[in-house]
Structure 1
């Protein structure tokens, strides 16, 4: 199945890190959207300010910075917002 889709915008707001699997995204895009020109991927996550162990990529390397992503000029950005139990109770 090949699609003629040229632009894809994906917005994910969730705590499940499986959506950050660059290899799986690459396989999906190559298989289903080979003509894709623009890919916008926004990932939102909320973390507890008291947690000092959170890192999107524990090894410090961004798998979205491989040649596949760079050649297409598709830049990956993730946004995390800190919360604390006090802030959550005030809302």
Structure 2
């Protein structure tokens, strides 16, 4: 199974994870500062900036895309509860 490397800028921690892992799961494991109020992609509180490696994330689902538009998210922002890593290196900033 492919691995991905995720760097959380807020705490300076890099972790290797299997492909398919969601950013929120990784954040919880390492104590990064991504806040959230749900895990279903509806509230938008876990909006996270992807500093580098956006191409290494799965494309947003229809639901995530809808919430991103409602939140007026920028092109480098994703919902951590929905964004799945595919491989490569990803740098995030909560």
TM-score (norm 2): 0.28
Question: Is the helix fraction higher in 1 or 2?
Answer: 1
Which is higher, the Rg of structure 1 or of structure 2?
1
Q: Which has the higher contact order (CA 8 A, sep 6+)?
A: 2
TM-score (norm 1): 0.28
